[in-house]
């Protein structure tokens, strides 16, 4: 697991990210335009990278903004990326855009989640999906993946639980590996410990998307989801926000939500 703390030298942290991206020093040199010799000096502590150099290399390695700030601090520099809360004044336009997206998606469900899949906001249609879940799973902070797969949550109502579980766990594993976030890694282990088998891949290879099929009010709803993120974020909070929107897969599901 990559150490994102500031107790280690910046060169050691940089090496971990390079290895996580499965790049040699020569490969990173080719991408960044920095000589392999200089990269070696940085990684071994023989050269102290400038602020611009750390940003340049972290961009090539696709290091998340939060961890880029950590690398800068480890290198003796001030963080480059602010972290504002959505209610803060600098984020007012973004917050307004998120609320517009949620409102416009009604009557279908949509949620806003942070980097750990904790619920930030949602529209009223989400209650159709969470109905019947245990109160302790609905207490803030609500983790939407835990709520989905927990036996006291949505899991008993998901008709294709194995398929949906396999889809969510595979996605979460990729995110944990890409971000080196220990909390995501712990969440993967927790969710894998829940009852049920996960199906790898789609059982219907002709299907275009993995559906969420959930039972409610004597009906079985079928939906697919899309993920919306903000392009070219320069704020840590903004970079870690995603909007998950659910759409009906068939006319019966669309009619249910419209009613």
The tens digit of pLDDT for each residue in 160-171 reads 999 999 999 999
pLDDT of residue 28: 97
114 has a pLDDT exceeding 80? yes
Task: Tell me the average pLDDT across 217-223.
Answer: 91
11 has a pLDDT exceeding 50? yes
Q: Please state the pTM of the whole predicted model.
A: 0.89
208 has a pLDDT exceeding 80? no
Task: Tell me the average pLDDT across 67-91.
Answer: 96
Main-chain dihedrals φ then ψ at residue 247, nearest 5 degrees: -125, 145
150 has a pLDDT exceeding 80? yes
Greater pLDDT, 113 or 232: 113
pLDDT tier for residue 18 given thresholds of 50, 70 and 90: very high
CA distance 195 to 116: 22
- Contacts by residues 128-135 (CB-CB < 8 Å, ≥ 24 positions apart): 128/216, 128/221, 128/257, 129/154, 129/214, 129/246, 130/154, 131/216, 132/157
pLDDT tier for residue 195 given thresholds of 50, 70 and 90: confident
22 has a pLDDT exceeding 80? yes
84 has a pLDDT exceeding 60? yes
pLDDT of residue 196: 76
pLDDT of residue 204: 55
Per-residue CA distances from 177 to 170, 185, 186, 188, 216 (Å): 11, 8, 12, 11, 35
Q: E strands of 85-203, at which residues? A: 110-113, 119-122
231 has a pLDDT exceeding 80? yes
In 3D space, the residue among 119, 242, 237 whose CA is nearest the CA of residue 175 turns out to be 242
Task: Tell me the average pLDDT across 184-204.
Answer: 80
Share of the chain above pLDDT 90, in %: 89
pLDDT of residue 7: 78
Task: Tell me the average pLDDT across 24-34.
Answer: 97
pLDDT of residue 217: 82
Task: Tell me the average pLDDT across 230-250.
Answer: 96
pLDDT tier for residue 3 given thresholds of 50, 70 and 90: very low
pLDDT of residue 200: 58
pLDDT of residue 206: 53
């Amino acid at each position: 697991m990559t150490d994102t703390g500031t107790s280690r030298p910046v060169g050691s942290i940089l090496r971990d990210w390079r290895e996580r991206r499965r790049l040699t020093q020569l490969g990173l040199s080719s991408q960044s335009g920095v000589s392999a010799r200089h990269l070696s000096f940085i990684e071994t502590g023989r050269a102290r990278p400038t602020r611009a150099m750390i940003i340049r290399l972290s961009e090539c390695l696709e290091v998340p903004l939060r961890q880029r700030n950590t690398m800068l601090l480890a290198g003796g520099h001030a963080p480059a990326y602010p972290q504002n809360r959505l209610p803060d004044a600098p984020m007012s336009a973004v917050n307004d855009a998120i609320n517009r997206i949620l409102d416009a998606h009604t009557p279908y469900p949509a949620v806003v989640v942070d980097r750990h899949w904790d619920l930030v906001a949602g529209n009223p249609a989400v209650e159709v999906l969470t109905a019947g879940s245990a109160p302790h799973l609905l207490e803030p902070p609500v983790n939407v993946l835990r709520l989905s797969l927990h036996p006291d949550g949505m899991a008993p109502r998901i008709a294709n639980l194995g398929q949906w579980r396999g889809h969510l766990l595979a996605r979460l594993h990729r995110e944990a590996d890409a971000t080196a976030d220990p909390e995501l890694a712990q969440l993967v282990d927790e969710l894998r410990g829940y009852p049920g088998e996960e199906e790898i891949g789609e059982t219907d290879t002709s299907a275009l998307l993995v559906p969420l099929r959930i039972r409610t009010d004597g009906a079985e709803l079928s939906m697919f989801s899309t993920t919306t993120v903000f392009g070219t974020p320069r704020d840590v909070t903004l970079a870690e926000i995603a909007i998950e929107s659910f759409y009906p897969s068939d006319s019966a599901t669309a009619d249910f939500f419209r009613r």
